[in-house]
Chains A and B, each alone.
Chain A
Amino acid sequence: MSFDLQKILESKRSLRSKLAARPLAEKLRMLDTLRERELAIRERPVSGSAIVREVPPQSRI
């Protein structure tokens, strides 16, 4: 693993190509799974305490 952006983009392209080349039946099963996950996320209630907010550091001036 590295933080080289070019390598990261290349590995993303490679993963997408591999996924696209999978057998159709397998890709359609992935759609089933993706939809189940998306529905689960949408149905999960978001409570105030579960939200992470970034607090800016206090100024030292």
Chain B
Amino acid sequence: MDIKEVILTINRMLADGVVDCYAIGGAVGATFYLEPVATLDVDIFVTFRLEPGSLLISPQPIFDYLKAGGATSEGEYIVIAGWPVQFLPPGTPLVEEALREAVVSDVGGTPARVFTAEHLAAIALQTGRARDKARLLQFVEAGAIDATRFQTILARHGLVDAWHKFERQFLDDTP
């Protein structure tokens, strides 16, 4: 099990032109800014290439490429170096923006493209499950997000009310 091998594989996929762009999100993305938290899978957001002669966006070229390299599939996941990896298209304008504005971090000599902390926090707010709220709290408590940049993203994507509700629910009583 080696998550760095997953990153190397995605970088090769990018260099070979299988995807136009990628960024790591989810719990693994959050680990670039926070303390590591146990997770069972890796979320990779990608812009899919159009298959020749097709108007439909398909992840099939990704699966074909990775399977040719020895990866196996498990349902919606493809297993790389022991990690189930899920390739996700950007489903909202916020995630599209996060993918466009992702930053490159150095992981021991390996470049890894990852969502910014502010986008990860905004996506957690938008998704809104209990675990997302917990992650958002981690970002706030760790002081890992730039408040101005975060507020700008929230305003651009209609999340200001959701943020005020979150503040009332979780932050107003913080000593």
Listed in ascending order, the chain A residues whose CB lies under 8 Å from chain B are 13, 15-17, 19-20, 23-25, 27-32, 34-39
What is the size category of the interface that chain B forms with chain A?
A: 20 to 34
CB contacts between A and B, total, < 8 Å:
60
Within 8 A of A (CB), among B104-137: 105-108, 112
**A23 x B108 contact (CB < 8 A):** yes
- Contact status of A20 and B144, CB under 8 A, knowing A27-B31, A28-B3, A31-B28: yes
**A35 x B107 contact (CB < 8 A):** no
State in angstroms the CA–CA spacing of A27 and B32 once bound together: 8
Within 8 A of A (CB), among B27-49: 28, 31-40
Q: Collect the chain B residues with CB atoms within 8 Å of residue A24's CB.
A: 32, 105-108, 112
**A25 x B38 contact (CB < 8 A):** no
Q: Collect the chain B residues with CB atoms within 8 Å of residue A38's CB.
A: 38, 40
Pairs of residues from A and B, 4 with the lowest C-beta to C-beta distance, nearest first: A25-B108, A19-B35, A34-B38, A30-B36
Q: Collect the chain A residues with CB atoms within 8 Å of residue B35's CB.
A: 15-17, 19-20, 27
Chain A interface SS verdict (over half): helix
Q: Collect the chain A residues with CB atoms within 8 Å of residue B144's CB.
A: 20
B2 in the interface (beta carbon within 8 A): yes
Q: Collect the chain B residues with CB atoms within 8 Å of residue A27's CB.
A: 31-32, 35-36
Q: Collect the chain B residues with CB atoms within 8 Å of residue A32's CB.
A: 1-3
**A28 x B38 contact (CB < 8 A):** no
Min CB distance, B117 to chain A, in Å? 11
